[in-house]
Structure 1
Amino acid sequence: MAEFILEANERKVDKQSQLTEIRDNKRVPGIIYGFSQKPVVIDLDYMALLKVLKGAGTSSVVTVKVSGKSIKTIVRAYQQDPVSDKIIHIDFMAVDAKKPITTKVPLEFIGQSRAVREQGGQLNKKINTVNVRCLPADLPDKIQVDITVFADLGQKLLIRDLKVSDKVTITNDPNDPVVNVTVPKKIILQATTEAAKPEGEVVAGEAKPEGEVVASEGAAKPEAGKKAESKK
């Protein structure tokens, strides 16, 4: 598991004017709390935070170094500006290295399904994260889901089918679906239309059955021809 470290400054006050100044200096205000940890008000370098979030997300342990201490944390939440989407505040939850934690871990879908590639199936991802419980040191940053196992339409993968370390417990219902491959609606509609077509119905442009004769306009009728001969 990758190690993520952030350097932070401790702040004594949390006034709006100070927050504006912090953000103007390309830093992000935040707080560390939890696990018998007295709340610590901090600020961090914006670009350094983005780099760590890209790798750690909200499911990896991040060591925050502040005031000579190294505090093990996970990202609990962050706020973004509604216009620019920039992070304007972040919450870290301190964790005990010896006690299990419960948090969300993202799923990473890898590979390509033969049922999709060769049979035109539709891949449906039912969830993108799962809840896990484990010690902080055993927390995975993601769980991979190999979809190459889907060779036929109708196959599905459940929570209980996910592969994780024996040190990690997924707390979701084991029978909940993760992903499946279904027949596309257009194929179902086409099959339904074909099945509903009456047997023997002739569609415009199709050839008439062999041996069937259709009289064309202006053609002499056999009965009229016979009467003309009898008058001679």
Structure 2
Amino acid sequence: MEDATMKLEIEVEPRHRAGKGGARHTRRNGKIPAVLYGQGQSRLLAIAPKFARDAIVAKRGHMGLLAVRIKGGDETEERYAVLQDYQRDPITGAILHIDLFEVAMDKPLRVKIPVTLVGGMPVGVKAGGVLQNPLREVLVECLPGDIPDHLEVNVAGLEVGQGIAVKDLAVPSGVRVLEDPEAKIAAVASKISEAKLEALLTREEAGVSPGETEAIAQKSKAGETSGSTESKEAK
């Protein structure tokens, strides 16, 4: 199962000096100080900026699992971990520190997974409704090797007044969702004006994703309210 797991490989090396002085020394040598926590211990590491950036991008993309190759002399050992935290310089944006958390491949862990809306604009939105997406990620529990990249929800068939709840999610084997089963992931609310509908359909043709339709509708509503106020003041 591990060979089929979607994971990112990064290389690190042991770091022998602790504290602020050790961290500064690591940065002067072109590396970023890091710590690998978990399994009852913490290990000081140094990581190249490229691998640090890769780990951050992987977390944003919810790839999740990292294969950490620790290279010390002629020996290399591999550990599995997730990115726990990182720090950046507030002025330059440079990565200052990386925290990794080691995981055991045979022990479940809890992670948040993004929910992606697919299928294009729902039929209910085309009929004048508004697509709502209140829950954009869900907390799941699974083995590290079973962490899904994301979960998909097809909203194409949603009519006005219909929705998709957590209990309706199709999840891979071995993954348990820990959210309220009745919590709504997506729903199509009541009808909107023809002006708003025209704006939504125009943006659909321009390639706007379904998750953005609610924001578009809200902007249209704000514009109508503003116009109404100005009209009253003119009178």
Residues 154, 183 of structure 1: 8 Å contact kept: yes
- 1:118 and 2:126 correspond: yes
Residue number among 178, 191, 196 corresponding to 2:185 in the alignment: 178
Q: How does 1:145-164 map to 2 (within 5 A)?
A: 145-150=153-158, 152-164=159-171
Q: Alpha-carbon deviation of 1:161?
A: 0.9
Contiguous gaps of at least 5 residues in structure 2: 197-220, 222-235
Q: 1:121 to 1:87 in 2, by over 3 A?
A: farther
- For 2:161, the aligned partner's letter is G
- TM-score (norm. length: structure 1): 0.70
CA distance in 2, matches of 1:123, 1:166: 29
What is the aligned partner in structure 1 of residue 140 from structure 2? 132
- 1:7 and 2:11 correspond: yes
Q: Alpha-carbon deviation of 1:169?
A: 0.4
Q: 1:160 to 1:69 in 2, by over 3 A?
A: same
- For 1:157, the aligned partner's letter is I
- For 2:180, the aligned partner's letter is D
CA distance in 2, matches of 1:44, 1:184: 53
CA distance in 2, matches of 1:158, 1:24: 51
CA distance in 1, matches of 2:133, 2:8: 29
- For 2:122, the aligned partner's letter is R
- 1:49 and 2:52 correspond: yes
Same amino acid, percent of matched pairs:
23
Q: Alpha-carbon deviation of 1:124?
A: 1.7
What is the aligned partner in structure 1 of residue 204 from structure 2? none
CA deviations on 1:90-121 (whole Å, 9 max, x unpaired) are 21111111111112112222231233652233
- For 2:77, the aligned partner's letter is K
- 1:78 and 2:90 correspond: no
What is the aligned partner in structure 2 of residue 206 from structure 1? none
What is the aligned partner in structure 2 of residue 89 from structure 1? 97
Higher helix share: 2
Q: Alpha-carbon deviation of 1:64?
A: 0.8
Q: 1:177 to 1:31 in 2, by over 3 A?
A: same
Q: How many residues align?
A: 187
Q: Alpha-carbon deviation of 1:4?
A: 1.1
Contiguous gaps of at least 5 residues in structure 1: 191-232
CA distance in 1, matches of 2:48, 2:78: 17
Q: Alpha-carbon deviation of 1:54?
A: 2.4
Judge which range, 58-67 or 171-180, deviates more: 58-67
- TM-score (norm. length: structure 2): 0.69
CA deviations on 1:47-79 (whole Å, 9 max, x unpaired) are 223234323545521111113221111112222
Q: CA RMSD in A?
A: 2.6
- 1:16 and 2:20 correspond: yes
Larger radius of gyration: 1
